[in-house]
Each structure stands twice: as C-alpha cells, then as structure tokens.
Amino acid sequence: MADRTETILEVRNLHTHFHTESGVVRALEGVDFTLNRGQVLGVVGESGCGKSVTAQCIMNMVPSRGRIVDGSVIYHQRNGQGTEAVEITALPPKSREMRRIRGNEIAMIFQEPMTSLDPLYTVGNQLLEAINLHQDVDRTEARALAVHSLDRVQLPEPERVFASYPHQLSGGQRQRVMIAIALSCNPTLLIADEPTTALDVTTQAQILSLMRDLQDETHMSIIFITHDLGVVAEMCDEVAVMYLGKVVEQTDIDTTFYSPRHPYTQALLRSIPRLDDDQGRRLEVIAGSVPDPSSIPSGCRFHPRCPDFVTGVCEQREPVLIRIDEDHQVRCHLYDETASSQPGTQP
C-alpha cells in the first residue's frame, strides 16, 4: 500500500531554455512542485505555459535545442528496503541509467493518440518493445503479458488488437493501447500529457474513468497535465498551477477549488462556465492575453493581467514561493509578509 506522505518526485526551481534562431525562449523559469507516492498531481495552465516541457524534463527528453539551465528533478526510487534519490536532471539523456527509468519507473502517455503509435508496426510489436526491454521474460511470457495489459485497459478482443496496426484502431482505442504500453512494466509514476484533449467527450470520460480505476488498482503516482479544470476536479489529489513557465501555486484539490490564493488561480476558476449560474450573466474572462514568451513582463509575470496588482511592488520584484501552510505554496507578493504592503490578507 502506498504511503501518501512519502515523496516520490521533487521538481526544484527548474529552468529550461530553448535556443532558437529568434533568440532564447525561456520556457521554464522556476517550476517547483513535489509529488507523493500514490498521489495524482494535476499540472494546469494555459497553452504555452510550459506544462509539456516540464513533462519532457522529468523524462529527461528535452528536444535538442532545449537545455535545462538550472534546477533539478529528483526521483525517489524504491530499492529493496528503502528509497534512493536519483537526480534525473544530472543523468545524460541517452545513458543506460536514464533509459532504465524511462518506461520502467516513469512512463508517459501523450496528447495525440492518433500519432503516438508508429504506423509501421503492429500494436503487439510496440508493446513487446517495452516489455522485452524492462522485464526478464521469455517470448511466450512476454506475449502473455502484452495481451494481458491490453485486456487490463478494457480493450475488447485483446488478441486481435495485439495483431492490429494503429490505423485500424480508433482514437480512443489507440489511447488505451498507449496506456497499456505505459502500464505494461508497472511504472511507479505515470506522466499523462493531456491524454484526453484530442478525444471526443464520451471517449474522454471513458479514458478518465479507466485511468482512475487503474490508479486505484496500482496506486501509482500520476502527473496529469491538462488545461481542463473539470478533468482536474475529477482526477487529481493535488494541483500545481503554472503561468508562463513558473508554478504559481501548489496545493491540494479542495483548497485549489474552494480557497485558492493566487489571483491567477482565482481568475481561472471564475472563468469556468457553470450550469447553475444566473442566466444572462456574462462569463468572466482574464483581462488581456498571455504575453509572448520573448517579451515577458518584469516583476511578477502576471501583473499586467492581475486584478489585485500592487503598484510599485508587483511590476518591480519577482515574487518567490511562499509557504502558506504544510501543503500550500503560492508565488505572490500579496502573501509575502516581509515585503508586501498588504501582509497576508486574502484579497
């Protein structure tokens, strides 16, 4: 049984930059969060805020133009009795140690099920790839494991799916296959990068409930990347909110929805349409739009759009992460008792 207070993954002050022809894109500028064993952490934010890059950093698979310039990702690997801290960001991306973690300890599923399977190989071929790589089994055992993992994600006729090519399956089926591949080696951490965004609503609900069931069954930890707060409410125990390459708030699911502290989180929640709303009331929007990553605002990155903007503070100094209680961190001057003119009050 998983111990929900034992840390499995720590992301500390992660900075990742991309060197492009038009200059340096600072994709991540301070991502901090921790994940406990058996927990589901939602990482939410608008498009381009660095959610997927964060996932790539954890897998140590940053594209060749990107570089982790600061910070670290530490994975607490179980071995025998205790745990061993592995600094993923210190491992060479192509090293044997890193490859032993990828797919085996930490698995990942992707946003586009239509393109995440190689069209030239059967489902079985790609599933066996993972199994043969990480498990010491012979051919018949490997095949049995593969068919079993297809069965586990509730694919009807797993034998037939095993022999199918990706183009013979629907989007929902392909995402199930991706989940089967990811879970075939019983990872302790699953990174799901918007796994339901490209699916229609019905299929989305099915995939979510499948993931929920599998999580209950295996007690693996999940990092669930999404921009859909409804999905977060359904899936997650903890939420990290990202804005322009920084985590601005991390806390548990209830606090996120009922008493969020960061003005950005509050604004996000106000902009969700509700069925029980008064008719005719306009949906609230966050003023302005996400700035271009090449012209990032000074001070707090959210200050031009922030309703609680404090002149003279917010546009001048970058806020640091402030620990409000044991399980609640926020990056906002409003809660900085040493510097802010409005100490510790909730706006």
Partner 1 sequence: MLAFIARRLVYMISTLVLISFVGFLIINLPPGSYIDVFQAQRQLQGTHTAEAELEALKRRYGLDKPVPVQYWIWVRGFVRGDFGRSFEFNREVSELIWERLGFTVAIATGSLLFIWLVAIPIGIYTATHQYKLGDNVATIVGMAGLSIPDFMLALVLMVVIQRLFGFTVGGLFSREYVDAPWSLAKVIDLVKHLWVPIVVVGTSGTAGLMRIMRGNLLDILNMQYVQAARARGLREATVVVKHAVRNAIHPLIMLLGMSLPTIISGSLIVSIVLGLPTTGPLYFNALRQQDMYLAGTFLMFLAFMLVLGNFLADILLGLIDPRIRYE
Residues that bind partner 1 (CB under 8 A): 59, 61, 63-64, 94, 99-104, 107-108, 110-112, 115-121, 126, 129-130, 133-134, 165, 167-168, 178, 181
Chain centre to alpha carbon of residue 32? 12
The CA–CA distances, whole Å, from 270 to 49, 233, 267, 302 equal: 19, 15, 5, 16
Nearest distance, CB of residue 280 and partner 1, angstroms = 43
Nearest distance, CB of residue 93 and partner 1, angstroms = 9
Nearest distance, CB of residue 340 and partner 1, angstroms = 42
Query: How many whole angstroms separate alpha carbon 177 and alpha carbon 207?
Result: 11
Measured from the CB atom, the residue of 73 and 241 that comes closer to partner 1 is 73
Measured from the CB atom, the residue of 68 and 181 that comes closer to partner 1 is 181
State the Cα angle at 295 between 290 and 301, rounded to 5°: 55
CB 203 within 8 A of CB 153: no
Query: How many whole angstroms separate alpha carbon 298 and alpha carbon 76?
Result: 36
Measured from the CB atom, the residue of 167 and 281 that comes closer to partner 1 is 167
Nearest distance, CB of residue 71 and partner 1, angstroms = 21
Nearest distance, CB of residue 326 and partner 1, angstroms = 33
Partners of 323 in beta bridges: 329
Helix (H, G, I), strand (E, B) or coil at 64: coil
Nearest distance, CB of residue 112 and partner 1, angstroms = 5
State the Cα angle at 168 between 166 and 170, rounded to 5°: 85
Query: How many whole angstroms separate alpha carbon 41 and alpha carbon 341?
Result: 33
State the Cα angle at 308 between 304 and 311, rounded to 5°: 65
Nearest distance, CB of residue 51 and partner 1, angstroms = 15
Nearest distance, CB of residue 99 and partner 1, angstroms = 4
Query: How many whole angstroms separate alpha carbon 58 and alpha carbon 220?
Result: 16
Measured from the CB atom, the residue of 40 and 130 that comes closer to partner 1 is 130
Measured from the CB atom, the residue of 109 and 268 that comes closer to partner 1 is 109
Strands 66-79 and 7-20: antiparallel
Measured from the CB atom, the residue of 115 and 209 that comes closer to partner 1 is 115
Nearest distance, CB of residue 14 and partner 1, angstroms = 19
Q: What b-and-e string marks burial along 284-320, b requiring 16 or more CB atoms within 10 Å of the CB?
A: eebeeebeebeeeeebbbbbbbbebbbeebbeeeebe
Query: How many whole angstroms separate alpha carbon 57 and alpha carbon 245?
Result: 13
